[in-house]
Structure 1
Amino acid sequence: MARTLPEPSDRTPAPRSSAGYVLGLLFAGNLLNFYDRALPSVVLEPIKEEFGLDDTQVGILASAFVLVAALAGVPLGRLADRVPRAAVAGWGLFVWSAFTAAGGLLTSFWGFFASRVGVGVGESSYAPATGSLLSDLYPSERRSRAHSLFMLGFPLGTLLAFLTAGALAVAFDSWRAPFLIAAVPGFVVALLVLRVREPERGAADPVETRPPAPHEHGGPRGHRLRSLMKVRSMYGMLIAFAGYNFAAYAIGTFLTPVLQRYHGLSLVNAGVVGGIVVGETGLVGLVAGGRVLDRAARRSPEARVRVSAFSLLGAAVFSLAGLAAGQGALWQFVVFLSLGYLFGIVYLAAAVPVVSDIIRPEQRSGALGLLFAVGYLLGGAGGPVLVGILSDALAAGAASTSEASAQGLRTALLITVPLAFAVAAAGMLLASRSVRSDRAAMLSPAATP
């Protein structure tokens, strides 16, 4: 005999996974996201030697998955506005884990290049879907802290990659070993994410912002995009995300090489020092930043945005001081670049909560897909390529090839990274001017997608 389902008027709440469990599970996936993403950077010198690459080609290789992630992020974000977000995130995790393993098996440069493209497709689904999902688990005044805990996967995953990838490559006498090992936990976490029972869209927002019936979601494609572009704060957010990603990906790609070439460290030691710079400081920045940003959000909608802007300005100043360190001042490089990374990463605890404050629930995955697409395209992909081109140009024609390579890379980072952080700060200051009015419009019962 068939069971009778309760009528909607019964208001029987649909079963859902607890917020803490979902946050912990999505954090685990995000940790693997950044672990897999950082692997080529940690073992970059052996990869460069095997395939005979220059810094420009290295930058292109590092940007391959980022570029594809930028292009795939928008349609996958829109997909997550229409189907269960856990399905989009879980299958994305499965796909990028499979391509990470493929990177350890394929022996040609173009095969390895294609595997990184595949990683980009998988990873592009994760941030838009999980950002929207977390926004339905936590109200606005708690979102920065929740998202900062989720984003701890960034520094922890990167730290683990820097601490373990070089050691695994040495232990197995192959830079390919870390890629094969990293795929295993990815498959396990993907299966668990696919089993998540997610909340109703808009569940943590005021009742008047709840989305319409599923068949009404979004409207025509052109209308959805135009409605997002009417939110003035989004323009500043796009500039900020592009600037931040430029700096973060430039550092992430070339940190180990500059420590080896310019400061004379071995692969394993460079990995350990790099883990301190981008890992341990990132933990502090996200945990402290999430608390500070949520306190600011209780004062006013724009306070959270301004705090992150000033933090990015601090990142520009400290990173300039660190990258200006000479070859005999490794301590200056580590201390000040670490502080720059710490202040910069605070921005990540603000980005998704700010978008959730100004975009209606039924459009958030698409808006986040757009944000990540522009950030990755202009920043994440542009940073490594531009730094690589500038590094090769500065090193060209020098008498000592090794010394020129070291000086060229260090100077390229010194020019670009602080400037990119400053651009990100300018974007957040621009967004702060209209975030209050944009949030009021989002909360208005008359607002429609």
Structure 2
Amino acid sequence: MSRSLEDPAVDVRPSRSSARYVLGLLFLGNLLNFYDRALPAVVLEPIKNDYGLDDTQVGILASAFVVVAALAGVPLGRLADRIPRRTVAGWGLLGWSAFTAAGGLLTNFWGFLASRVGVGVGESSYAPATGSLLADLYPAERRSRANALFMLGFPIGTLLAFLTAGGLAEAFDTWRAPFLVAAVPGFVVAVLVLRIREPQRGAAEPDPAATDPAAADPAAAAPVARKGPLLKVLRIRSMYGLILAFAGYNFAAYAIGTFLTPVLQRYYGLDLVDAGAVGGVVIGVTGLIGLLAGGRVLDRAAKRSTAARVAVAAACLAGAAVFAFAGLSAGRGTLWQLVLFLSLSYLLGIIYLAAAVPAVADVIRPAQRSGAIGLMSAIGYLLGGAGGPIVVGILSDALAAGATGAADATAQGLQRAMMIAVPMAFTVAAAGMLLATRYVNTDRDTMLAG
């Protein structure tokens, strides 16, 4: 008896229409993920002034969210290998939406910090569960495009946050208003995610029975998931490069996401709404273009070989490092230079993001993918996503102490800290993907051989 007859919530081989529906719904959840995640960065200066924080403390606030998300990602990823992935993703979305609303209601700093920690736990469930789902909805040669469409939630959600949060804060005369507004659609999408029919694990592989015995014998599904300890993932050599790249990229992305608006306000003299609009162009518009173009480019490369997709991503990250330095070194009178070159940097960097999860799916067995993605996310976010805001914040305060002109010190310190840290992080990410190119073809063949 097929598994779909045993469980009507599982598609053995999803149709294209059902795959598109699930992809579209997961995209909406991802959009809300990044909208909620970006809110503190957009209204960071009012939060900073309200609570009397310096840049180091701001970095810790941003990183607390990431650290908790990273630590929770490993067990939640393993959980998604054992129970329906829609359950993990749907309840995670419901949880982080509730904590987002709490951030707009709680009136002291520690309460706000606790709400962001809760958001981090909820959001940490989403990437491992949905990454595994998408890998079973689409075959290897179409995964970058599918993942790129899913990851459009990143630039679109961030763009919407940058364009609307400042206006909502000014309209309601409080920076808390956007947090309350953002929670409402999250509850609706969470209910829909909990009701999807998810694909059978391994359904999109050339021979599902070879890579996941559950495809041939549905009764074996649960034992297979339990036999895949995360230590086995670390025996796959290409994973080390993929994890290093993910950490480097997130260091740069979280540093930009946390401190771009403050740089625009302090160093370039923009007000909150204008800074949000410029940040939306740099992060949102270019990210949208990068993912739409990058998914197709990466899938064409994947048709040549698994390593070709990874090599293209490495080249994009190297270009991102060069353009990031060119943009962040712009002087006060050349805002156009910052916008142009940092936009190009972000565009190239986000192309890599369309390759990150498909590259893991290329070398990891279906029954272990959620756990592997959770592990990559955990290490990458701990070293990169948490490290970026903290390192830039500490470096900013240190450089500000030695800057000329006390009134201008924090602006100069933050601008220089970004100019140093972000290009270096993109360079590390490029090196990680370059390292992975040496092993991914062999690891892919091993995975397919069972």
Q: Shorter-chain TM-score category?
A: over 0.9
1:209 Cα deviation from its structure 2 partner:
1.3
Q: What's the counterpart of residue 117 of structure 2?
A: 117
The question of whether the paired residues in 1 share the 8 Å contact of 2:403 and 2:412 is answered with no
Other-structure match for 2:217: none
Matches within 5 A, 1:120-269: 120-207=120-207, 208-212=210-214, 213-219=220-226, 224-269=229-274
Distance 1:199 1:330, change over 3 A: same
- On the 8 A contact 1:392/1:408 being kept in 2, the answer is yes
Letter in 2 for 1:180: L
TM-fit CA distance, 1:8: 4.3
Aligned to 1:319: 324
Contact 2:102 2:115 in 1 (8 A): yes
Question: 1:35-74: per-residue Cα shift (whole Å, max 9, x none)?
Answer: 0000000000000000000000000001111000110000
1:64 aligns with 2:71: no
Q: How many percent identity over aligned positions?
A: 73
CA distance in 1, matches of 2:211, 2:278: 47
- Superposed displacement of residue 230, structure 1: 1.1
Structure-2-length-normalised TM-score: 0.95
**Alignment match of 1:275 (pick from 275, 280, 297):** 280
Match of 1:416 among 421, 425, 431: 421
- What is the aligned partner in structure 2 of residue 4 from structure 1? none
Which amino acid in structure 2 is aligned with residue 392 of structure 1?
Answer: D
Query: CA offsets per residue over residues 18-38 of structure 1, 9 Å max, x none?
Result: 000000000000000000000
Q: Structure 1 residue 379 and structure 2 residue 387: aligned? A: no
1:265 aligned counterpart, secondary structure: coil
- Once residues 83 and 339 of structure 2 are traced to their aligned partners in structure 1, the CA distance between those partners, rounded to angstroms, is 45
Equivalent in 338, 355, 363 of residue 333 of structure 1: 338
Secondary structure at the aligned position of 2:229 is classed as helix
Give the superposition deviation at 1:402.
3.3
Contact 1:32–1:153, Cα closer than 8 Å, also in 2: yes
Is the contact made by 2:36 and 2:182 (CA closer than 8 Å) also made in structure 1? yes
Per the TM alignment, residue 9 of structure 1 is displaced from its structure 2 partner at its CA by 9.8
Give the 3 Å change call, closer, same or farther, for CA 211–411 of structure 1 in structure 2.
farther
- In 2, Cα distance between equivalents of 1:101 and 1:11: 40
For 1:103 and 1:71, the matched residues in 2 are separated by 21
Partner of 2:438: 433
Alpha-carbon distance between aligned partners in 1 of 2:184 and 2:7, rounded to the nearest angstrom: 36
Superposition map of 1:76-87 within 5 A? 76-87=76-87
- Rounded to whole Å, the distance in 2 between the matches of 1:98 and 1:173 is 22
CA separation of 1:395/1:158 partners in 2, compared to 1, >3 Å: closer, same or farther?
same
Tell me whether 1:290 sits opposite 2:295 in the alignment.
yes
Q: Shift in Å at residue 219 of structure 1?
A: 4.1
Partner amino acid for 2:23? L
Shift of 1:224: 1.4
Give the CA deviation at 1:226.
Answer: 2.5
Letter in 1 for 2:231: R
- 1:392 corresponds to which of 389, 397, 404: 397
**Residue 13 to residue 138, structure 1, CA distance change in 2 (3 Å):** farther
Post-superposition offset of 1:419: 0.5
Q: Which amino acid aligns with 2:248?
A: G
What SS class does the counterpart of residue 203 from structure 1 fall into? coil
The answer for unaligned runs of 5 or more in structure 2 is: 215-219
The answer to which of 199-208 and 423-432 deviates more is 199-208
SS in 2 for 1:283: helix
Deviations 1:62-88 (A, max 9, x none): 111100011000000000000000010
1:398-433, CA deviations, whole angstroms, 9 ceiling, x for partnerless residues? 563331100000000000000000000000000000
Cα offset for 1:210? 2.4
> Given the alignment of the two structures, is residue 30 of structure 1 paired with residue 30 of structure 2, yes or no?
yes
Query: 1:211 and 1:416, CA in 2 relative to 1: closer, same or farther beyond 3 A?
Result: farther
Quote how far apart the aligned CAs of 1:389 are: 0.3
Distance 1:287 1:115 in 2: 33
Partner of 1:40: 40
- Provide the rounded CA distance (Å) in 2 between the counterparts of 1:211 and 1:100: 40
Conserved 8 A contact 2:255-2:392: yes
Contact map agreement 1:236 1:428 (CA 8 A) in 2 = yes
Q: Write the deviation string for residues 299-324 of structure 1: whole angstroms up to 9, x where unpaired.
A: 01100000000000000000100001
Give the whole-Å Cα distance in 1 for the aligned partners of 2:247 and 2:384. Answer: 4
Quote the offset at 1:442 in angstroms. Answer: 0.1
Cα deviation 1:132-155 (Å, max 9, x = unaligned): 001100000000000000000000
One-letter amino acid matched to 1:311: C
- Structure 1 stretches lacking a partner, 5+ long: 1-6
Whether the 8 Å contact between 2:403 and 2:413 is mirrored in structure 1 is no
The one-letter amino acid of 1:193's match is V
**Residue 402 to residue 32, structure 1, CA distance change in 2 (3 Å):** farther
Superposed CA RMSD in Å reads 1.5
Distance 2:4 2:110 in 1: 58
Q: State whether residues 211 and 362 of structure 1, in contact with CA within 8 Å, keep that contact through their aligned partners in structure 2.
A: no
Retained in 2: the 8 A contact 1:39–1:165?
A: yes
Report SS of the residue matched to 1:196: coil
What is the aligned counterpart of 2:347 among 329, 339, 342? 342
Aligned partners of 1:10 and 1:417: how far apart in 2? 48
Give the partner amino acid of 1:138: Y
SS at match of 1:328: coil
- SS at 1:347 equivalent: helix
- Counterpart CA distance in 2 for 1:154 and 1:9 is 34
